[in-house]
A and B are shown apart, each in its own frame.
Chain A
């Protein structure tokens, strides 16, 4: 079954995450603002990528990586027209023009460069075709997606990144059990300190923002920084306790009061079994 969708709604990061976690094999076809591209995956690893607009073959890749001169690339192209990348690689290595390691590295670099460019495609369409792998005769590589996702995310525009890293503000923060650096050795801004002072499993990020009159963007940015620095961790919010949080505003108080009333009804196993029996016979 092909997975289809729009990049505006379902971004590259999410797609790569899915492909990685589900260890998928197949090809991801993309149509974005800069044209088309396809990425091939084998068991969740990126093995090949190329963009449709430029017909890039191995000599071009090697030339861009500085492993072949323009002249060398032209000669290879002319003499080996129609031959596969793999054949060209064999010939170049056997003739002593380059080393195998150069080929491997250059291909990897090309594939990664393309993928990182694609990260900025926030509109267009995608289609994932399982089991399709148009890599006959190509030089393939094998790149773990975790790192690609990390680096690609780093290069994303700030807001998008923050949105993805922190989809919900209805979670709480706690101090990391083993912070990489002790808090006193970290230079924090006033804004960051204000957030830090409200870190408590009882306060959701949303509430912290309200206490400090911060916009969603401000709070996301600060929390993201604190998470990256390993100072705090995300946890599910604890049930609000009876004790007052310092500086809790009226609005937040109302919210807390409302949410405490949603309790689980006190039911016995027997009731659930009766439900199950009845629904089975519907």
Chain B
């Protein structure tokens, strides 16, 4: 039995738990806690250690999706989670420009952990004031060649599309390395 891992990261409340929940075959093993501090009270629960989802590929292969905790004080988990990952997804709440700088910082940090392919998902595109994916690409200074795709984390098809795009990028990188 072989297991593979994709990490889903992004700022606080960008939709990581929701994203993993949409495609996982098990209920996301989420270590969510109710939020007590006023400052972070834009929703009821936050992930304190990690989210954990699973997709069984076949008898011999399982894909795990790990979501990072959103709050800064759990950053020590990041590097541990990134160990051995196949690639990662940076989820951005497209409606909250106040989180873009943080998203950029997270992206850089993960890129430095491991030179694996990654993708940026411009989440919450169903909401009226979502910034378009193309604009986020510029704003987050995403390297050319890295995809920034629109996403609605509650929508399974949309989440599938993000994961597929990441996997296509992984194949492309493999092709380049073989040349």
Give chain A's interface residues, CB within 8 Å of chain B. 1-6, 8-10, 14, 17-18, 21-22, 167-168, 170-171, 204, 236-237, 239, 258-259, 261-265, 267, 269, 271-276, 278-280, 282
A262 to B113, CA, bound (A): 6
A91 to B49, CA, bound (A): 71
Interface range for B: 35 or more
A168 to B171, CA, bound (A): 29
Given contacts A1-B129, A272-B174, 4 further A-B contacts (CB under 8 A): A262-B84, A275-B57, A278-B55, A282-B156
A274 to B5, CA, bound (A): 14
Instruction: Determine whether the beta carbon of A10 is less than 8 Å from that of B97.
Output: yes
Contacts of B138 in A (CB 8 A): 17-18, 21-22
Please report which residues of chain B, range 87-113, place their CB below 8 angstroms from some CB of chain A when the two chains form the complex: 97-101, 104-105, 108-109, 111-113
Looking at the complex, which one of B2, B23, B79, B101 makes contact with A282 (CB distance below 8 Å)?
Answer: B23
A173 to B111, CA, bound (A): 17
Interface pick from B12-20, B35-43, B66-74, B162-170: B162-170
A13 to B138, CA, bound (A): 13
A21 to B167, CA, bound (A): 28
Contacts of A204 in B (CB 8 A): 112
A156 to chain B, nearest CB (A): 16
A59 to B135, CA, bound (A): 38
Give chain B's interface residues, CB within 8 Å of chain A. 2, 4-5, 23, 55, 57-58, 61, 63, 79, 82-86, 97-101, 104-105, 108-109, 111-116, 128-132, 134-135, 138-139, 141, 156, 160, 163-164, 167-168, 170-171, 174
B154 to chain A, nearest CB (A): 15
Instruction: Determine whether the beta carbon of A1 is less than 8 Å from that of B108.
Output: no
A134 to B83, CA, bound (A): 53
Instruction: Determine whether the beta carbon of A279 is less than 8 Å from that of B105.
Output: no
Asked whether A280 and B164 contact (CB < 8 A) given A22-B135, A274-B57, the answer is yes
Instruction: Determine whether the beta carbon of A262 is less than 8 Å from that of B171.
Output: no
Looking at the complex, which one of A18, A258, A275 makes contact with B139 (CB distance below 8 Å)?
Answer: A18
Instruction: Determine whether the beta carbon of B135 is less than 8 Å from that of A279.
Output: no
Looking at the complex, which one of B23, B113, B171 makes contact with A269 (CB distance below 8 Å)?
Answer: B171
A239 to B61, CA, bound (A): 30
Contacts of A267 in B (CB 8 A): 4, 86
Instruction: Determine whether the beta carbon of B164 is less than 8 Å from that of A167.
Output: no
Contacts of B86 in A (CB 8 A): 264-265, 267
Which of A2, A6, A258, A279 is most buried by chain B, counting CB atoms within 10 A of its CB? A279
Contacts of A258 in B (CB 8 A): 79
4 smallest beta-carbon distances between A and B, as pairs: A9-B98, A5-B97, A262-B114, A10-B97
Chain B residue at minimum C-beta to C-beta distance from A206 = B112
Which of B105, B139, B168 is most buried by chain A, counting CB atoms within 10 A of its CB? B139
Asked whether A282 and B160 contact (CB < 8 A) given A1-B130, A272-B167, the answer is yes
Instruction: Determine whether the beta carbon of B171 is less than 8 Å from that of A272.
Output: yes
Chain A residue at minimum C-beta to C-beta distance from B167 = A276
Instruction: Determine whether the beta carbon of A279 is less than 8 Å from that of B4.
Output: no
A269 to B174, CA, bound (A): 7
Contacts of A239 in B (CB 8 A): 115
Instruction: Determine whether the beta carbon of A9 is less than 8 Å from that of B101.
Output: yes
Instruction: Determine whether the beta carbon of A259 is less than 8 Å from that of B164.
Output: no
Instruction: Determine whether the beta carbon of A6 is less than 8 Å from that of B108.
Output: no
Contacts of B101 in A (CB 8 A): 9, 167
